[in-house]
Amino acid sequence: MNQVDLNKTKTLVGPSKLRYDSFSPQPIDIFMPSFSFSLIPVGVRFMILSAFGFALMSACVKYVSNYGIPVFEIVAARALVSLIISYIDVKRKGISIWGNNKPLLFVRGAVGTAALMCVYYAVTTLPLAEATILQYVHPVFTALLGVLFLKERVQKSTMICIVFCLAGLSVMVQPSMNSSASSELPLFSIMLALCGAFGSSIAYVIVRKLSQTEDSSVIIFYFPLVALPISTALIWNDFVWPSLFLTMMLVLVGIFTQIGQYGLTKAMQTQAAGKASAYSYVQIVFSALLGVWVFNEIPSVWTYLGGGLIVTGALINVFGKQLLVPFRAK
């Protein structure tokens, strides 16, 4: 472009930030549209917050366990913090803390406690990424429970999900079945992780039933109410007196748990459950990054392959109906 051409172009300096070209009477916007955080749906933002909270919770659990704090003590610490926060929340709403269906609320608390202990054991003995991925096989258990107890009909998308999840699980476990593999995972920890996912599925079904008659804060309150005495009794003589720093970390376990629960509850209230839950799988990414950064854990190729299959299956289960629409049209 020569000097004459340069002189033909004039720039308007001002709030409009538009350039006027002498060859065109129309202003030309020279700025790319900026990204706005408000473009992300509120439900998605809350679900990402929930996933980040639960990932930080798992990292704190693993961290304190490396200093000799037993699993039952970690569960008790989380329960104590959650019980205080949940009690304040229920009182803030001005409702009864005891709810209506007390027997089912206690069952939900007991099942949730057992599942939590299994999950925490898996977190303390497996890499964070693997322990988190194994939690996302719960659609398989939820589908089976629906068939057995709720007489539900299994959808095609759920069947595909089960196939993907089982395939992914077999890929992740395969090195552990081969004693010569360098990326072996402890089978007992894998089994407890699956037990935790199964227990979580039972708890989800119970919560779905309780949601018809109980406030969400009351349901959350019963979880630590049951978990605290059970975990305290199981500690027995294994109690380890934590330092001030480890005490702070144990408190953070409870706080991050509440953040995760809050984000999950708000996401389900402001976004379609299926769409919101799809974004919960970002927890795997958060956990993998925390595992690398804090614990120097590098996921194996089997974890990437198996985890990819499990997440793919879970997403098919979430968006199954939309994916099958083109095929039904034919």
Radius of gyration for the chain, computed over Cα atoms and rounded to the nearest angstrom: 25
In whole angstroms, give the CA distance from residue 90 to residue 99. Answer: 10
Residue whose C-alpha is closest to residue 322's, from 275, 277, 269: 275
Residue in this structure with the two tokens 């799988």, named with its chain if needed: 281
Mind listing the pLDDT tens digit of every residue in the chain (330 residues)? 555 454 444 444 444 444 444 444 555 444 444 545 566 677 778 888 988 999 999 999 999 999 999 999 999 999 999 999 999 999 999 999 999 999 999 999 999 999 999 999 999 999 998 898 888 787 778 777 877 776 777 778 778 888 888 888 888 876 655 544 445 678 899 999 999 999 988 887 788 788 888 888 899 899 999 999 999 999 988 899 999 999 999 999 999 998 988 887 777 666 665 566 667 778 888 998 999 999 999 888 888 888 888 888 877 876 766 655 555 555
* Domain edges within the chain: 47-325
User: Where is 329: in which H helix or E strand?
Assistant: helix 301-329
Does this model's pTM top 0.75? My answer is yes
In whole angstroms, give the CA distance from residue 55 to residue 44. Answer: 16
